[in-house]
Amino acid sequence: MTTQNKDNNRRNFLKSSATAIATGLVGGSIINSFVSCKDKNKTEGEKMNVLTHDGKLVAIDKSQMANFKPHISDEDVRKGIPGKKFVMVIDLAKCDGCGKCTKACNKMHYLPTNKAWLSVVDMQDSSETAPYYFPKPCMHCDNPPCTKVCPVGATFKREDGIVAIDNTRCVGCRFCMAACPYSVRLFNWLEPEKPNIVETTPAAEHVFQSKKGCVEKCDFCPHMAREGKLPACVTGCPMNAIWFGDANEDAVTCYDGTTTKLSQLLQDGAAYRFMEELGTEPSVYYLPPTNRSYDAKEIKIENAE
């Protein structure tokens, strides 16, 4: 499809939107009606039911449908996805420290191997207690120390619970890094290598967030959430250790697609939040490493460097 056609599509769409706005039922697609380029994709036969704005159900050929992604404005990105409250539950009993979550995350966000938005830390609380693996994403705190101190509002808390960064705004003062008690924020000390991709959303929801002189961190994959998909770390964890979902729906989902009640999961698993005593109100819950599915003795705690 040429660009001119695309423009035509849009103009016609705007014109015809009064008569044929399709919402809900088609979810993510709109009618490509009254458009000149009907000759494309001539696979007639399959019909779809579409609800018009005046409440009529119309059967329309699938070839008449165009894939439509709603335009996301800067304001939408700052507000977040309406009605959601994203949470993550990490089951430490299942995590065997394979690091596949980190790899999946790095692949999703085009990060080099020496960076990790989600790092797996070997923890041992005291010399006599058992060591365990501790995947550490951004906690997306409800009382975030990082967004409080940002002088320009480059990092902000959204209504859907996500703490996001707008790297077109960030001045690189690194106050947020000093303020974050979880050490999850990374800084681009040198010019990062840019992947060859085209981003359509505003900066805070970009897949690739590295920019020289700016801060970056785990963003809970809001671009996936907009499409109703799971973040890269969840779909990358073969141990089913990471659950992700919406607290308002009280549902979380893991790698194999199991969806469960969040409240039940937290209650049954005696969930806790990391460093609750700081009062940061994290959105990430941990299930303690009891009855582990791997051998804890194999964990070697390595000190810095």
Partner 1 sequence: MEKIDQEIKNKIQDELLATVGKRYRQETFWVIFLSIICIGGTVAWIFQLKKGLGVTAMRDYVSWGLYISLLFFFVGISLIGALVSCVLRLSGAKWRYPLIRIAEAVTLSAIFFAGFMPVLDMGRPERLYYLITHGRIQSPILWDVMAIATYFFGSVIYFYLPLIPDLATMRDKLTDAPKWRRTLWKWLAMNWTDSLIQRKLLKKGMFILCIVILPVAISVHTISAWLIAFTLRPGWNSTIMGPYFVFGALMAGAAIMILIIAKLRIGYRLEKYLTAVHFNHLGKILLALTAFYLYLNINKYGVPAYKMAKDEKPVLEDLFFGNNSILFWFTQIVGIVIPIIILSIKKLRNTIRWVVTSSILVLLGALINRYLIVVPSMLHPFVPIRHAQPGFATYYPTLTEWTITASSLAGFLLLTILLFKPFPVITIWEVTEELEKQGEKPIGVENILTTQNSAYHAS
Return residues touching partner 1 (CB under 8 A): 114, 119, 121-123, 136, 145, 148-154, 169-175, 177-179, 181-183, 185-191, 212-215, 275, 278, 280, 301-305
Q: How far apart are CA 78 and CA 60, in angstroms?
A: 36
* CB 235, min distance to partner 1, A: 24
* CB 222 to partner 1: min, Å: 21
Expressed in percent and rounded to 5, the helix, strand and coil fractions of the chain are 25, 20, 60
d(CA 43, CA 37) in angstroms, rounded, equals 14
Rounded Cα–Cα distance for residues 277 and 269 (Å):
20
Q: CB of residue 165 vs partner 1: minimum separation in angstroms?
A: 12
Distance CA 214, CA 184 (A): 14
Please say whether the beta carbons of 185 and 177 come within 8 A.
Answer: yes
- Considering beta carbons, is residue 1 or 178 the nearer one to partner 1? 178
Q: Among residues 235 and 280, whose Cβ is nearest to partner 1?
A: 280
Nearer to partner 1, 33 or 147 (CB): 147
Closer residue to partner 1 in complex, CB, 29/188: 188
> Residue 9 carries which DSSP code?
H
160 in Cβ contact with 78 (< 8 Å): no
Shortest distance, CB of residue 126 to partner 1, whole angstroms?
Answer: 9
Q: Which is nearer to partner 1, 121 or 130 (CB)?
A: 121
Nearer to partner 1, 153 or 195 (CB): 153
Through-space distance between the first and last CA atoms of the chain, rounded to whole angstroms: 53
Return d(Cα 245, Cα 252) in angstroms, integer.
4
Q: How far is the CB of 81 from partner 1 (least distance, A)?
A: 23
The two beta strands, 65-67 and 57-61, are unpaired
Smallest separation, CB 79 to partner 1 (Å): 17
Cα separation, 101 vs 117, in Å, equals: 10
